């Protein structure tokens, strides 16, 4: 088989994390090739390698059947490999036409001094391309005000104008309505028929079935399956994507105390979306003391918005949030903390920690006004320091000096520090998001033990994770979120990755029924 | 990287790292100054002056005798206030450049109170004048603080513009309402003798405002290190998202540091009016707010650094004026050195250090 773009035994590691290992990919000329997998499966890393943003540790990138070394994205563009990013790279203040020619403007052939951009030629080129692909584009519109799918078309045409032979699209339908997605597919099929190869990254298996010629499935940095699309189906793909769930030991269920009184009580919660995600739609959820409730869902389906509402970082548009019997919807994080909240942020680097602050400052934050650490208007620095040692040693955080910047700790130790801070105040509810992201295996086991211990002592835990294994191993029950709503709930005994995965991925049919 | 064998208990502070840190702090303070003097030397050589002779003269004019030292400290006095007023904001990631305007309005309020309050009030005039100055300047910077905290109005733009308004407003008032009857224009009446701050080393102009300035620096150090609000302001400066997620009310923190900044700048203006010039006239601030910013940047918002920086810039200012008398070196060389210090101070090997500030 001829290979337009591909990879041969490619490996790439970041520190201890093997993001890609032994990856072989073959995208044929005039083929739509879907790449699917969970978040963290290594898709983005592979795309970065294919674009020349990074170089593989081992193996090689293949272009037109020959191994090549891509030094940088410029070289990839020169060869005709172009990428349409999830967030479009148009200049919002410029018109679509200006964006279309930006960086390779046609110029009049006059004397150097009188040279200027030949807008007539630019428009002609744009119109010709648009006509070839059956698109109508109002070139004079400012990019920032154009509908999102028109922006996407402009970006695609812009790459075609520069002679791209391969287009890489990163979840192109994430921001599109179903009808717009259908139009995009028509365009992509047309481009394929005209000889362009298309690499299509998606979470939505129905789209993959509808559009792709071949599919490659990644899991944990490896290719686990690759086949023609007519030789597979959604169930098979789902099984490959989520894998088997045996890798994490199940909890000793007998130890678990029966769930007690409700600690977190959310009713009818709705909230506006963060850009590119889904708004939260009328979510009801209770978490009782001693209970770990897992929340599953593909990234960007409203989980982030939901968590932010439940920890006081985002104002819901409607609905109630009760914590320990206090109505807190729309209040500040400080009020939630006063009512008994601990919060493990999904974004450890930017929200869970102040990276350049010291270990002491990080582990003692949020306690600075507690009576134990104050004498009159002043802080008791000695007591603060003693407590910092106590918190850190309790969760066995390995560190050098309290005054070291927290960035000097390893990822796993940083996350332990976050837990040490959030558990030290003995909260009634711990909202935990992506607790083991970027943490090595030993650290994962320790963090799971912390969570089980917290629940066993009567704490309530809301656990949001993209790791299905983790959810199944820790949760008493799992709710699944899709497109901003809770679409199903699975008790621990019946939870399998397949069952959860089916609920997570069923959003396609639901979404079309709801939006279409 | 954390050492895998290190026990948690190994985190006790030892002497060596403390010394290392201190050496690092001194280097970060000294290098910009050395670079600046080097650039100044090049400029001096270019205009045909011997840099070493000039610097030797500046050193003796700055610190050569107790009188010269008193003149240096006198010139450093307003900088203590303006540097603290700037550092307290920079430390929280608030780029307040309006200290000069607050200093001017504080000076105007103090001079007006010092001249217009009945002389029968006696010794209480000076403290009342200071309170008036702090109130006026505190409100002056509270407003852009509120605009930033509530409406996200860029503080650089608002405070920079407020400087011009402060200058225009004070210029208007000293030519109309507050114009002295005994003098031509642009000036208020001289304050009552009883309202003057005491001179510490007559005949030098060093006055007790210098001690108030040192007290401000000390209070800043205590606030930053020993109070919950100071700790919270630091976290806001280091990482606002983190601060918010640990329950810190960022708007309140921003408004607080802006108001304190105004109060300190206003007190500085009062000290300058009551201790140094004894009245308010146009051109009251010789750019003290901006030199104070250079001091705060050089000190990386540290309290001790502010004292050193203020004395350094005070020495440059006081020596600069006299060397002009004794040599052909123009006063502008001082501006060259000041400006260069500022540039090198913010470089920190190519990284802006504003958000890494601390006061210890």
Q: Per mean pLDDT, which range of A152-166, B107-121, B229-243 is the poorest?
A: A152-166
Would you call B1 and A377 a contact, using CB atoms and an 8 Å cutoff?
no
Q: Which of A211, A214, A216 is nearest to A187 (CA)?
A: A211
User: What b/e sequence results for A243-266 when a residue is b if at least 16 CB atoms lie within 10 Å of its CB, and e otherwise?
Assistant: bebeebeebeeeebeebeebbbbb
**Residue A445 burial (10 A CB sphere; 0-12, 13-18, 19+):** middle
- Beta partners for residue A478, in sequence order: A294, A490
User: Is the backbone peptide bond immediately before B203 cis, with ω within 30 degrees of 0?
Assistant: yes
* Angle, CA B168 vertex, CA B163 and CA B174 arms, to 5°: 125
* Angle, CA A176 vertex, CA A88 and CA A504 arms, to 5°: 110
Name the residue of chain A whose CA is nearest to B356's CA: A356
Q: Give the pLDDT confidence of A33-75 residue by residue, as tens digits.
A: 999 887 667 888 898 899 988 899 999 999 999 999 988 888 9
Name the residue of chain B whose CA is nearest to A366's CA: B246
Chain A interface residues facing chain B, Cβ-Cβ under 8 Å?
Answer: 311-313, 332-334, 336-337, 343, 345, 347, 350-357, 359, 361, 365-366, 368-369, 374, 377-379, 381, 389, 392-393, 396-403, 408-410, 413
Would you call B2 and A400 a contact, using CB atoms and an 8 Å cutoff?
yes
Give me the residue from A379, A400, A403 closest to B3, CB to CB. A400
With beta carbons less than 8 A apart as the criterion, state whether A50 and A61 touch.
yes
Would you call A356 and B249 a contact, using CB atoms and an 8 Å cutoff?
no
Q: Which domains does chain A show, CATH number per domain?
A: 5-242 (3.40.50.300), 260-340+427-516 (3.40.50.300), 353-425 (no CATH)
Would you call A368 and B2 a contact, using CB atoms and an 8 Å cutoff?
no
Provide φ and ψ at A295, rounded to 5°. Answer: -125, 115
pLDDT mean over B175-196: 85
pLDDT mean over A272-286: 84
Residue B324 exposure: Cα atoms within 13 Å on the Cβ side: 10
Would you call A350 and B9 a contact, using CB atoms and an 8 Å cutoff?
no
Mutate to test the interface with B, among A308, A354, A356 (most CBs of B within 10 A): A354
Would an 8 Å CB–CB cutoff place B15 in contact with chain A? no
A-facing residues of B in 33-92 (CB < 8 A) are none
Tell me if residue B198 falls in helix, strand or coil: coil
Flag whether pLDDT at A156 surpasses 50. Answer: yes
pLDDT mean over B134-153: 96
Would you call B247 and A401 a contact, using CB atoms and an 8 Å cutoff?
no
Would you call A352 and B1 a contact, using CB atoms and an 8 Å cutoff?
no
Would you call B8 and A398 a contact, using CB atoms and an 8 Å cutoff?
yes
Q: B359 falls in which pLDDT band (50, 70, 90)?
A: very low
Flag whether pLDDT at A361 surpasses 70. Answer: yes
**Which pLDDT score is estimated for B50?**
87
Name the residue of chain A whose CA is nearest to B238's CA: A354
Q: How far apart are CA B319 and CA B307, in angstroms?
A: 18
Chain A residues in contact with B247 by the CB 8 A cut-off are 312, 332-334, 336-337, 366
pLDDT mean over B313-335: 83
The most confident of the ranges A231-235, B27-31, B94-98, B353-357 is B94-98
**Which pLDDT score is estimated for B153?**
93
H or E segment to which residue A320 belongs: strand A318-323
**Which pLDDT score is estimated for B16?**
62
Q: Give the full edge-to-edge strand order of the sheet including A81-84.
A: A81-84, A166-170, A197-201, A32-36, A214-219, A222-228
Would you call A357 and B235 a contact, using CB atoms and an 8 Å cutoff?
yes
C-alpha R_g of chain B:
21
Give me the residue from A343, A353, A378 closest to B226, CB to CB. A378
Flag whether pLDDT at A252 surpasses 50. Answer: no
Question: Where is pLDDT greater, at B229 or B54?
Answer: B229
Q: Give the pLDDT confidence of A438-475 residue by residue, as tens digits.
A: 776 667 888 999 999 999 999 999 999 877 878 988 99
**Which pLDDT score is estimated for A319?**
93
Number of A/B CB contacts below 8 angstroms equals 107
Flag whether pLDDT at A338 surpasses 90. Answer: yes
pLDDT mean over B291-320: 91
Q: How far apart are CA B138 and CA B44, in angstroms?
A: 42
With beta carbons less than 8 A apart as the criterion, state whether A10 and A61 touch.
yes
Question: Where is pLDDT greater, at B353 or A342?
Answer: A342
Q: Which of A209, A263, A270, A202 is nearest to A234 (CA)?
A: A209
Looking at chain A, the whole-number percentage of residues with pLDDT higher than 70 is 90
Flag whether pLDDT at B275 surpasses 50. Answer: yes
ipTM of the complex as predicted: 0.83
Flag whether pLDDT at A247 surpasses 60. Answer: no
Q: B48 falls in which pLDDT band (50, 70, 90)?
A: confident
**Which pLDDT score is estimated for A243?**
72
Instruction: Say how far residue B84 (Cα) sits from the centre of its chain.
Output: 5
Q: Per mean pLDDT, which range of A206-210, A281-285, A305-309, B235-239 is the poorest?
A: A206-210
Would you call B245 and A400 a contact, using CB atoms and an 8 Å cutoff?
no
Q: Which domains does chain B show, CATH number per domain?
A: 25-356 (1.10.3470)
Flag whether pLDDT at A510 surpasses 50. Answer: no
CB atoms within 10 A of CB A229: 18
**Which pLDDT score is estimated for B181?**
79
B108 min Cα distance to partner chain A (Å): 33
Q: Which of A436, A42, A59 is nearest to A221 (CA)?
A: A42
Q: Which residues contact B288 (CB under 8 A, 6 or more apart)?
A: B78, B79, B81, B82, B100, B103, B268, B272
Flag whether pLDDT at B355 surpasses 70. Answer: no
Q: Give the full edge-to-edge strand order of the sheet including A66-68.
A: A17-27, A5-14, A58-63, A66-68
What does pLDDT average to over chain A? 85
A-facing residues of B in 229-268 (CB < 8 A) are 231-232, 234-235, 238-239, 241-249
Bridge pairing between strands A280-288 and A292-296: unpaired
Would you call A345 and B245 a contact, using CB atoms and an 8 Å cutoff?
yes
pLDDT mean over B258-271: 97
Q: How far apart are CA A258 and CA A113, in angstroms?
A: 82
CB atoms within 10 A of CB B322: 17
Flag whether pLDDT at B96 surpasses 90. Answer: yes
A415 min Cα distance to partner chain B (Å): 13
Give the CA dihedral B129, B130, B131, B135, nearest 10 degrees.
100
Chain B residues in contact with A378 by the CB 8 A cut-off are 222, 226-227
**Which pLDDT score is estimated for A437?**
78
**Which pLDDT score is estimated for A506?**
62
What does pLDDT average to over chain B? 87
Give me the residue from B6, B231, B247 closest to A400, CB to CB. B6
Give me the residue from B4, B6, B11 closest to A402, CB to CB. B11
Q: Which residues contact A395 (CB under 8 A, 6 or more apart)?
A: A416, A417, A419, A420, A423, A450
Bridge pairing between strands A214-219 and A318-323: unpaired
Flag whether pLDDT at B354 surpasses 70. Answer: no
Q: E-strand spans in A15-143?
A: 17-27, 32-36, 58-63, 66-68, 81-84
Would you call B242 and A350 a contact, using CB atoms and an 8 Å cutoff?
yes
**Which pLDDT score is estimated for B42?**
92
The DSSP-derived string for B280-301 is -BTT--SSHHHHHHHHHHHHTT
With beta carbons less than 8 A apart as the criterion, state whether B115 and B192 touch.
yes
Flag whether pLDDT at A187 surpasses 80. Answer: yes
Q: A348 falls in which pLDDT band (50, 70, 90)?
A: confident
Flag whether pLDDT at A2 surpasses 70. Answer: yes
Q: Which of B44, B72, B40, B35 is nearest to B322 (CA)?
A: B72
Q: Quick one: three-class SS letters along A353-377?
A: CCCCCEHHHHHHCCCCCCHHHEECC
**Which pLDDT score is estimated for A251?**
46
Q: How far apart are CA A278 and CA A299, in angstroms?
A: 10
Q: How far apart are CA B85 and CA B219, in angstroms?
A: 12
Q: How far apart are CA A360 and CA A435, in angstroms?
A: 21
**Which pLDDT score is estimated for A500?**
82
């Amino acid at each position: 088989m001829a290979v337009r773009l591909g990879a041969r035994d490619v490996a790439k590691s970041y520190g201890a994390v093997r993001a890609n290992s032994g990856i072989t990919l073959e995208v044929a000329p005039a083929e739509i090739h879907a790449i699917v997998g969970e978040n963290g499966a290594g898709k983005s890393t592979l795309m970065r390698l294919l674009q020349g943003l990074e170089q593989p540790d081992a193996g090689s990138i293949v272009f037109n059947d020959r191994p090549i070394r891509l030094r940088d994205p410029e070289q990839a563009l020169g060869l005709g490999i172009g990428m349409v990013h999830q967030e479009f790279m148009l200049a919002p203040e410029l018109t679509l036409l200006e964006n279309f020619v930006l960086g390779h403007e046609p110029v009049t052939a006059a004397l150097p001094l009188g040279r200027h951009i030949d807008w007539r030629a630019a428009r002609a080129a744009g119109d010709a391309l648009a006509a070839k692909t059956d698109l109508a584009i109002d070139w004079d519109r400012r990019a920032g005000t154009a509908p999102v799918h028109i922006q996407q078309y402009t970006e695609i045409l812009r790459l075609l104008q520069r002679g791209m032979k391969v287009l890489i699209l990163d979840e192109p339908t994430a921001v599109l309505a179903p009808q717009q997605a259908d139009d995009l597919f028509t365009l992509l099929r047309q481009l394929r028929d005209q000889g362009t190869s298309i690499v299509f990254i998606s979470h939505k298996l129905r789209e993959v079935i509808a559009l792709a010629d071949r599919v490659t499935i990644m899991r944990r940095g490896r290719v686990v399956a690759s086949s023609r699309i007519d030789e597979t189906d959604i169930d098979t793909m789902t099984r490959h994507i989520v894998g088997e769930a045996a890798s994490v030991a199940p909890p000793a269920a007998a130890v678990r105390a029966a769930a007690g009184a409700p600690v977190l009580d959310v009713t009818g919660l709705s909230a506006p979306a963060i850009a590119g995600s889904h708004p939260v739609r009328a979510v009801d959820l209770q978490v009782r003391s001693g209970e770990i409730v897992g929340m599953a869902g593909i990234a960007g389906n409203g989980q982030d918005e939901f968590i932010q509402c439940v920890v006081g970082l985002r104002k819901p548009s409607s609905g109630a949030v009760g914590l320990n019997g206090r109505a807190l919807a729309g209040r500040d994080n400080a009020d939630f903390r006063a009512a008994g909240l601990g919060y493990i942020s999904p974004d450890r680097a930017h929200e869970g920690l102040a990276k350049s602050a010291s270990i002491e400052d990080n582990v003692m934050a949020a306690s600075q006004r507690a009576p134990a650490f104050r004498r009159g208007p002043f802080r008791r620095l000695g007591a603060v320091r003693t407590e910092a040692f106590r918190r850190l040693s309790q969760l066995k955080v390995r560190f050098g000096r309290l005054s070291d910047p927290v960035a000097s700790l390893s990822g796993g130790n940083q996350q332990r520090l976050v837990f040490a801070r959030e558990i030290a105040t003995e909260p009634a509810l711990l909202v935990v998001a992506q607790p083991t992201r970027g943490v090595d295996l030993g650290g994962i086991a320790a963090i799971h033990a912390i969570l089980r211990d917290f629940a066993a002592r009567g704490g309530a835990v809301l656990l949001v994770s993209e790791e299905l294994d983790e959810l199944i191993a820790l949760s008493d029950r799992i709710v699944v979120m899709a497109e901003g709503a809770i679409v199903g709930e699975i008790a621990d005994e019946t939870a399998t990755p397949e069952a959860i995965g089916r609920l997570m991925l069923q959003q396609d049919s639901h979404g079309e029924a709801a939006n279409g | 990287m954390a050492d895998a064998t290190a026990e948690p208990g190994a985190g006790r502070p030892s002497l060596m790292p403390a010394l290392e840190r201190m050496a690092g702090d001194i280097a970060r303070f000294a290098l910009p100054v050395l670079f600046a003097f080097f650039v100044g030397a090049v400029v001096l050589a270019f205009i045909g002056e011997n840099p070493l002779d000039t610097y030797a003269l500046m050193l003796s004019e700055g610190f050569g005798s107790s009188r010269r030292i008193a003149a240096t400290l006198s010139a450093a006095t307003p900088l203590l206030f303006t540097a603290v007023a700037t550092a307290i904001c920079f430390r929280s990631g608030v780029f307040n450049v309006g200290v000069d305007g607050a200093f001017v309005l504080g000076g105007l309020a103090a001079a007006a109170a010092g001249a217009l309050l009945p002389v029968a009030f006696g010794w209480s005039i000076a403290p009342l004048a200071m309170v008036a100055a702090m109130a006026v300047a505190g409100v002056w910077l509270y407003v852009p603080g509120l605009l930033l905290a509530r409406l996200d109005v860029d503080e650089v733009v608002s405070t920079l513009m407020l400087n011009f308004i402060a200058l225009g407003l004070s210029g208007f008032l000293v030519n109309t309402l507050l114009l002295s009857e005994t003098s031509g224009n642009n000036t208020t009446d001289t304050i009552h003798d009883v309202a003057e701050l005491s001179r510490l080393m007559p005949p030098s102009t060093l006055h007790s405002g210098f001690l108030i300035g040192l007290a401000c620096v000390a209070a800043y150090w205590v606030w930053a290190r020993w109070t919950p609000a100071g700790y919270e302001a630091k976290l806001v400066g280091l990482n606002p998202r983190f601060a918010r997620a640990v329950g810190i009310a960022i708007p309140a923190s921003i408004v607080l540091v802006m108001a304190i900044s105004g109060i300190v700048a206003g007190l500085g203006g009062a000290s300058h009016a009551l201790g140094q010039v004894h009245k308010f006239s146009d051109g009251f601030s010789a750019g003290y707010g901006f030199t104070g910013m250079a001091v705060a940047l050089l000190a990386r918002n540290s309290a001790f650094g502010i004292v050193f920086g203020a004395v350094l810039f005070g020495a440059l200012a006081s020596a600069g004026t006299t060397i002009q008398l004794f040599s052909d070196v123009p006063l502008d060389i001082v501006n060259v050195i000041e400006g260069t210090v500022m540039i090198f101070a913010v470089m920190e090997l190519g990284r802006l250090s504003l958000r890494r500030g601390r006061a210890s």
